[in-house]
Chains A and B, each alone.
Chain A
Amino acid sequence: MKIKITSNLFSLLLLCFIFNSCTEPYILETNTYEEALVVEATITNELKKQEITITKTSRFEDKETQIEKGADVFITDNTGTRYHFEEESGKYISTIEFQAIPGKEYRLNINTKDGRTIVSTTETLSAINPMQDVKAAVETKDSLRGVAIRVSSYDPTNTAKYYRFEYEETYKIIAPEWRLKKAITIDGVNGANPTLEVIANDPNTRICYSTKKNTEIILTSTNELNEDRVDFVPRFISDQNYIISHRYCILVKQYVENLPAYTYYKTLKKISGTESILSPLQPGFLNGNLKSVNNPNDKIMGYFDVASVSSKRIYFNYIDLFPKDPPPPYYTKCDEQALLFCFGPPPCYGDELVYYFANNLMTYSLHEGILYHIYPAPCGDCTTFSSNIKPPFWVD
C-alpha cells in the first residue's frame, strides 16, 4: 500500500513535470497587426500587357484580401522608357503591350494614394532558356503511382541554373449520377403544402471544366549539376485523384530566375513549409527587393521579378495512360439514399427532401411512389463545385 501511494506521488509529479506541460491557448494581441503592402510583379520577355497586383496584408480573422487602390504604378528602364499601369478589376495592367529585353535595367515604381513611394532595385532579364518538352508519364513517386508532368530543358551556356515553375491545370468533370430528369419543389420550403415535381434536367450540369493554379512555390536549380539540364516534375497527380478521370490539360510555365529572386522564393517556400524535424526554422520578415523611400523600415512584401518565361500546354486522357485501370474515385462519395416523401415523424422525410431540392443540396435520381432516391448534389450536378463553361483553349 505504501509503495502504491509513493508511486502515485511520483506519477503525479512526473505527469506535470514532463507531459502535462500545460499548454493553453494564448490570446494573440490584435494590435500586433501591421498593414503592409504585398506586391506581385513578374515582368517577362513575353510581349503582352504585363500585370501587377498590389494587395494589403490582412488580419488573421479577415477573410478577404484588400486591394491597394488608386496607386500610380509604372516601370522605368535605363533608356528612359516608362511603362504605365492602370487599375483594372483589382489589378494593375500595363497600358501598352511590352516585353522585357535582355540587358535593359528595369525598376518598379509605386506611388500609393496615401503618399508612400515604393521603388524596387534595378533588375535585368534573366537568362533565356525555353523548355524543350513537357510530358505526362505514369510514374511511381514515394511508392505512390500517378502521373508525373515532367519538364525538360537544356541550357548549353550553363547560365540559366535557377528555375521557377507555375502551372494551370484544367480538367474535365463528368457528373457520374447525372439523370435526364430532376426534382424541383413547388410551394417552396415554407409553403403550406409543398410538393415535388420531376422535370427535364439541364444538360449543362453534366460536364464541367475546372481550372486551378499551383499554390506552392515550385523551384529547381541545376547549380549543383555538371550541366544546366532540367529534368523536373513540377506536378505529380496521384492515380486516385479524380481530376485525371477523363481529360486533363496542364499549362506549364517555366521562369528562369536570377539568383536573388530564386533565393527569395526559396526562403519564402521554406518559411511557409513544414518545419524541420530537428529544429524549427528561424521565423522572421523576409526582405524582397522593394523598399519604401519614405520609411525604410516599412515592410513591403514581394519581389519585382524580371524573368524569361516559356510555356507549354499538354493534354492527356485517363484511358490512354491507364488503359486497364478503373477510373479514380469521383470528387465526392456518391452513396444513394432513399427517403419517403411524407410529413410527420420518421420514416417521413418530406421536409428534408423539400429543403434538399430547393437548395440543390441533393440531386434526384429516381422515385418509386413516395420513395425518392437521391445522391449528394455534386454527383448529379457538376456545377455545384465546378464550371460548365468550356475554356476557349480546350481541345477535346
Chain B
Amino acid sequence: MRKILLVLFTALIHFSLLAQKTGDTYSFEFKNVDRLKAIETIEATTPYHFYFEKEWMDSDKSLISGSYKNVTITTLLESIFNNTSLNFYVTKNKIILTQNNVIHEKLATNYFGAIKTENSNKDSNDLTGKPVFYQQYDSINKSYTKNNNGVVFIGKETKTTDAKFCTITGIIINTTTGKPESNIVIKVRNKNISTISDNDGNYSLKLPTGTNIIETRSLSHKKVVKTLVVYNNGELNINIAENSNQLDEVFIKGKGSKAVESVVSGVISIDIEAMKNMPLILGERDILKVATTLPGVKTTGEGSAGFNVRGGKDDQNLFLLDNAVLYNPQHFLGFFSSINPYTAKKATIYKGSIPADLGGRLSSVFDITTKNGNPETITGEGAIGPITSNLSVSVPLEKNKSSLLFGGRATYSDWVLKSLKNDDLANSQASFYDGILKYNNALNKNNFLESTLYYSHDKFSLSSDSIYSYSNRLASIKWDHSFNSKNKAAVILTNSEYKFDIDFDTTAKNAFVSGYKLNETQLLLKFNYLYSDKHKFQYGLTSKLYNVYPGFLNPTNPNTTLKPIEIAQEKGLESALYVSDSYKINDKFSVDLGLRYSLYASLGETDQRVYAPNLPLNDATVIETKHYGNNQVATTYGTFEPRLAARYLLTDDLSIKAGYDKTSQYIHLLSSNVTQSPTDTWILSNLNIKPQTAQQASIGIFKNFDNNLYEVSLESYYKKSKNILDYKVGAQLQLNEHVETELLQGEGKAYGIEFLVKKQFGRLNGWLGYTYSRTFIKLDSQFSEEKVNNGNYFPANYDKPHDVSAILNYKFTKRYSLSSNFVYQTGRPITYPIGTYIYNNANYTLYSDRNAFRIPDYYRLDIGINIEGNHKIKKLAHSFWNISVYNVLGRANPYSIYFVTDGDGKVKAFKTSIFSIPVPSITYNFKF
C-alpha cells in the first residue's frame, strides 16, 4: 500500500509540473466540427503545430462541440481527444498525436483513473477505452488483487501495422479440472465486442489494435481480467477457476448478453452465489424458492411441495441432481428444499425448449449440478440457522486431479421440541437431514470421472401418534471421454429411490404401518459431434427401468378390524433415442433442431384388467384380467417428440426467439390433495393408464440495455396437453388396487405471457417479473361419472392468473447490503360447498363446480440484511450474518380453506395460514 501511495504522490507532482509548462490559456468555441477542423482552428490561433497521421482523423469523424474559456492547451486537448484512441504529447510548440501508445515522458490523463481503481472497483470500468500508457501497467495491475495477470502483448509491434483489427484465438481451460470450458463469455471492456467459447473451449476475438482489457464472464467461474496490448494476430489461452471459493461481491446476474444470444428461450439459470442476497425463510437459502420468484414457476401455496411450471401439474417436472432424478426435492412439506445450496453449482430450469437429451416429464426440467471439490486445498463453508445447520467441506485427494466434496445439513428442531414443556409439542417431531458426496477425477486430458451420492430423509409427526417419514436416495456416475477435438462422449449411470412410510396412530386399535417405494435405474449415452462451425450435433440414447412398489398396509394391533393390503409391484422400461443439431444458419439466425423418440414398455410380472371398450372403467366393466409373466411386455407406447428452437438477432442486443416442443410422460403422481404431499404415490402407465403428452409453442423477445446492465424479456407460450391425470368426484387413490377406476384422463390447455426485467449489477440490483397465465383442464366423456363441470374447461388447482415478484438488493457498503422480496399472486381456485340438500332422508352438501371459486390473493414481503465480516485476506474464515424477516407485512395468507360440519349440521369454513406473523431469523455463514 505504501508503495502505491508513493507512486500516486510522485505522479501528482509530475503532472502539476507538466501543467505549469503549458501554462498559457486560450479560448475556443467549437460547434459540430470534426477533430481535424478543430486542430486546424487551434493551429491557426495558437503557436502550436500538430503532428499526426491524417487517417486517424478519418477513422473517427465524430463531431465535437464545446466552449472553452481561458483553458490551458492540455485541458483543451484532453477534452477534444476524450473518447478517442488518440493521445497527445505537448513539447514546446509541437503537439504530437499518437494512436494508443503514449509518448514516454508524459503521464496519461487516465493515470488518476487507474489509481482510483484501487479504492473502488466500480470505477475500474472508466479506465479503459481511453488510451493507456503501458508503463503504468504495473500499478494498474496491483489494483486487481485477485486477477493479477500481467500485461499480455499480442503480436509484434511494427511501425507499419496496417490491420486495424487483429484476431486473437485461444482456449479457455479450467484450472481445476484441466478441461476446456465451453460457454464462457469473453468481453472487451467498454467495447461492444464479445464472444463465447465453443464446446472445446476455443474462442476467437477480433480486437482493435492497441490496448484492450478483456474479461471472462461466467456464472460459475471466477472472472479473469487480462490487459492486452494488441499489435497483431495472436494466440492467448486463458485459465479460469471455478467460482466455488470466493467471497466477492455477487451480482444477480443472468447470462449477460447470452440471454439475447442463446437460441433457446424459456430457460432460467440460477446463480447459486447470488442467492446470498435473497431474504431467507427461517435462515435457509433455497434454490427452489428463488426459482419461484421468476416468471413461469409457481407453487400451489406456501409450504406446498409441488411446482407448477407454465401451467403444468406438480408431477410434470423433472428434477435432476447430477443427472439422477430427485423425486421429492422438498423437505418438510415444502418449507425447505432438499438441495444443499452450499454444494450446488448451478441450476438451470427449462420451462420450454427442453433439450432433446432430456425427457420424461411434460412441463419442465430442473437441472441441478453439484460443484466439484477443490483439488488444491481443503476448503469449507457452513451456516448456523434457527432450524438447521449446514456444513460443506472439500478435500483434495490427488492434488490438482481429484477431490471430494461433502455437504451435510440437519435440523435440531426435534431436540428443541423435546425440551419443551408443552406435551403436544413434546410429542411432535419435525426433522430432516440430507447429505451429498461428490467425487471427481480428471484422469487425463481426455477422460474425466464424476460421481455423486445423495440421501435425504424427513420425519414428521403432527398429530402426536402418527409418524410420517420419507426419503430420497440417489447415486450417479459419469464418465466423460474425448475421442478427438470433434467427438466426445459421456456415459452416465444413475439410480434413484424414493420411499415413504407411515406409522399411523401407533397406540390405537386401528394402528397400521403403510409404505411406498419407487426405484429407477438409468443408463445414458451422450455423444457430441462438432461437425463444423455451422453444425453441432448431439445424439444419444437413454434407458430407464422403473420398479414401483405401490404400497402396503399392515395393521399393527392384533385386535384390529383392518385388513392388511399389499398392492402388486409395477415395472416399466422407458427408453429414448435422440439427435439434435445446433445449426448456425448465419450470424443472425440460428436454429436448434432436436428429435427424440421415446418408447415405454409396461413390464410384468403383473395382472392387468381389460375393460369393455367404450365403457367407463369400473369394477363392472371388467372383461378379463390378463396375466403377464416376469419382464413380459404388457403394452408399449411410443411418442415422437420434436424439439425446435430458433433465434434471430435483430441487433446485437435484441433478439426474437421461437420454440416448439413436444414432451411425453409415462409416470404419474396420484394426488387428490390440492398440494403435493409426500404421501402421494407415483404410478406407471399401463394398459389402462395412457401416457401424458404435451405440446408447447413459445415466442419471446429479448433485449439488453445499457451494455447489458438491464436485461428485459417478454415471452409468451401456448401449451396443450393430453391425458392429464385427474380424478373422479370422490376418488380414493391410496392403496387402491384398481386405481384406474378412479382416474380420468383429460385435456389441458395453458397460455401465458411472462415479463422480466433485470438489473444485473450495480449497487442496486434485482429483478421484477410479472406473469399473466391461465391453465385449464377439460374432463369430458359420454358417461356422467367421467364428466367434470359438464365437460367444460375449468381452471386447474394452480391457475393463478396474476403473479408479480420483485427482488431488490441494495449494497450500502462492501459489508452491508439489504435485500427484499415481494410476491403477489391471485388466489388459487377452490371447490366450495354451496348449499345443502336432503336426499333419501339424509343431509348432503352440495359442492360447486370444480374450482369455481378462489381463495383470497396471496402477497408477502420479506426483508433481509447481510452483514459481511471484515475483508482481511488472511484470516481463518470469511463469514457473514444474515438477518431476515419473512412476511414483514404479517399477512395471513391462506394455506388452505376447509369446511367442517358442526353439531347443528352447519357448515363452517376455516382458513389456515402458515406464517401469519412476521417471522424473523438470523443465520451465521462462514467459509474457510
Interface residue ranges, A against B (CB under 8 Å): 7, 9-11, 13-19, 21-29, 32-36, 38, 40, 55-62, 65, 142-143, 161-162, 166, 213-217, 221, 223-224, 259-260, 263-264, 267-268, 270-272, 276-289, 296-297, 299, 301-302
B907 within 8 A of A: yes
A23-B911, A26-B894, A65-B837 known; A297-B785 Cβ under 8 A: no
Segment among B141-149, B157-165, B414-422, B444-452 that sits at the interface with chain A = B414-422
Which one of B620, B677, B910 lies within 8 Å of A161 (CB-CB)?
B620
**Contact: B620 with A259, CB < 8 Å?**
yes
* Bound Cα distance A34, B673 (Å): 25
**Contact: B847 with A33, CB < 8 Å?**
no
Which A residues touch B679, using CB under 8 A? 278-279
Interface residue ranges, B against A (CB under 8 Å): 282, 335, 386-387, 413, 416-417, 419-420, 424-425, 428, 430, 462, 502, 504, 514, 559, 561, 618-621, 671-673, 677, 679-680, 727-735, 783-785, 787-790, 792, 831-842, 844-850, 853, 892, 894-895, 897, 906-917, 919, 921
Which one of A15, A16, A36, A216 lies within 8 Å of B835 (CB-CB)?
A36
* Bound Cα distance A224, B619 (Å): 8
- List 10 contacting pairs A-B, 8 Å CB cutoff, sorted by A: A10-B413, A13-B282, A22-B912, A26-B910, A28-B833, A213-B841, A267-B730, A285-B729, A287-B790, A301-B839
Which B residues touch A10, using CB under 8 A? 386, 413, 416
A-B contact count (CB 8 A): 222
CB distance from B508 to the nearest CB of A (A): 11
**Contact: A38 with B838, CB < 8 Å?**
yes
**Contact: B835 with A271, CB < 8 Å?**
no
Which A residues touch B621, using CB under 8 A? 259
* Bound Cα distance A260, B413 (Å): 51
Which A residues touch B895, using CB under 8 A? 21
**Contact: A18 with B462, CB < 8 Å?**
yes
Chain B, residue nearest A59 (CB): B835
**Contact: A24 with B911, CB < 8 Å?**
yes
**Contact: A215 with B911, CB < 8 Å?**
no
* Bound Cα distance A151, B917 (Å): 58
* Bound Cα distance A62, B904 (Å): 11
Which A residues touch B909, using CB under 8 A? 25-28
**Contact: B847 with A285, CB < 8 Å?**
yes
Which A residues touch B425, using CB under 8 A? 11, 14-15, 19
* Bound Cα distance A271, B730 (Å): 5
Which B residues touch A21, using CB under 8 A? 895, 912-914
**Contact: B912 with A281, CB < 8 Å?**
no
Which A residues touch B912, using CB under 8 A? 21-23
Chain B, residue nearest A287 (CB): B784
Which one of B677, B789, B847, B921 lies within 8 Å of A13 (CB-CB)?
B921
**Contact: B894 with A286, CB < 8 Å?**
no
CB distance from B386 to the nearest CB of A (A): 6
Supply 15 further A-B pairs (C-beta < 8 A) apart from A7-B419, A263-B785: A9-B386, A13-B921, A16-B916, A17-B919, A25-B908, A28-B832, A32-B833, A33-B835, A34-B835, A142-B561, A268-B839, A272-B844, A281-B732, A285-B789, A296-B790
Which B residues touch A13, using CB under 8 A? 282, 386-387, 919, 921
Which A residues touch B831, using CB under 8 A? 283-284
Chain A, residue nearest B916 (CB): A22
Which one of B729, B841, B913 lies within 8 Å of A284 (CB-CB)?
B729
**Contact: A60 with B835, CB < 8 Å?**
yes
A223-B620, A280-B672 known; A57-B846 Cβ under 8 A: yes
**Contact: A289 with B839, CB < 8 Å?**
no
A221-B619, A297-B790 known; A33-B834 Cβ under 8 A: yes
Which B residues touch A301, using CB under 8 A? 837, 839, 844, 846
Max count, chain A CB within 10 A of own CB: residue among B282, B841, B917:
B841
**Contact: B728 with A282, CB < 8 Å?**
yes
* Bound Cα distance A27, B856 (Å): 11
Chain B, residue nearest A259 (CB): B620
Max count, chain A CB within 10 A of own CB: residue among B727, B787, B844:
B844
CB distance from B922 to the nearest CB of A (A): 9
Which A residues touch B559, using CB under 8 A? 143
Which B residues touch A268, using CB under 8 A? 730, 839, 844
CB distance from B247 to the nearest CB of A (A): 27
For the complex of A and B, the 5 pairs showing the least CB-CB separation, nearest first, are A26-B911, A287-B784, A57-B835, A270-B730, A22-B916
* Bound Cα distance A40, B386 (Å): 59
A11-B416, A19-B428, A21-B895 known; A281-B672 Cβ under 8 A: yes
Which one of A40, A65, A259, A299 lies within 8 Å of B840 (CB-CB)?
A40
* Bound Cα distance A315, B183 (Å): 88
CB distance from A262 to the nearest CB of B (A): 8
* Bound Cα distance A382, B548 (Å): 61
**Contact: A215 with B842, CB < 8 Å?**
yes
**Contact: B787 with A16, CB < 8 Å?**
no
Max count, chain A CB within 10 A of own CB: residue among B420, B502, B917:
B420
Chain B, residue nearest A266 (CB): B730
* Bound Cα distance A183, B544 (Å): 86
* Bound Cα distance A14, B425 (Å): 9
* Bound Cα distance A34, B847 (Å): 10
**Contact: B785 with A260, CB < 8 Å?**
yes
Chain B, residue nearest A166 (CB): B840
A14-B413, A25-B909 known; A279-B734 Cβ under 8 A: yes
* Bound Cα distance A35, B186 (Å): 68
**Contact: B734 with A216, CB < 8 Å?**
no
**Contact: B730 with A17, CB < 8 Å?**
no
* Bound Cα distance A296, B783 (Å): 14
**Contact: B907 with A60, CB < 8 Å?**
yes
CB distance from B92 to the nearest CB of A (A): 77
CB distance from B645 to the nearest CB of A (A): 38
A22-B912, A60-B835, A301-B837 known; A283-B919 Cβ under 8 A: no
CB distance from A364 to the nearest CB of B (A): 32
A33-B835, A223-B619 known; A18-B428 Cβ under 8 A: yes
Which A residues touch B837, using CB under 8 A? 36, 38, 55-58, 65, 301
Which one of B417, B677, B834, B850 lies within 8 Å of A32 (CB-CB)?
B834
Which B residues touch A23, using CB under 8 A? 910-913
* Bound Cα distance A223, B609 (Å): 14
**Contact: A40 with B731, CB < 8 Å?**
no
Which B residues touch A216, using CB under 8 A? 842
**Contact: A217 with B842, CB < 8 Å?**
yes
Chain B, residue nearest A38 (CB): B837
* Bound Cα distance A390, B709 (Å): 92
Which one of B416, B731, B833, B917 lies within 8 Å of A282 (CB-CB)?
B731
Which B residues touch A221, using CB under 8 A? 619
**Contact: A58 with B462, CB < 8 Å?**
no
Chain A, residue nearest B735 (CB): A278
A280-B672, A281-B672, A286-B730 known; A40-B839 Cβ under 8 A: yes
CB distance from B560 to the nearest CB of A (A): 10
A279-B733, A301-B846 known; A18-B430 Cβ under 8 A: yes
Which B residues touch A142, using CB under 8 A? 561
**Contact: A25 with B832, CB < 8 Å?**
no
Which B residues touch A57, using CB under 8 A? 834-837, 846
Chain B, residue nearest A60 (CB): B907
**Contact: A28 with B730, CB < 8 Å?**
no
**Contact: A25 with B386, CB < 8 Å?**
no
CB distance from B784 to the nearest CB of A (A): 4
Which A residues touch B732, using CB under 8 A? 270, 276, 281
CB distance from A295 to the nearest CB of B (A): 10
* Bound Cα distance A307, B268 (Å): 60
CB distance from A140 to the nearest CB of B (A): 11
A25-B909, A272-B844 known; A16-B849 Cβ under 8 A: no
Which B residues touch A35, using CB under 8 A? 835
Which B residues touch A161, using CB under 8 A? 620
* Bound Cα distance A223, B622 (Å): 10
CB distance from B304 to the nearest CB of A (A): 13
**Contact: B847 with A284, CB < 8 Å?**
yes
Which B residues touch A260, using CB under 8 A? 783-785
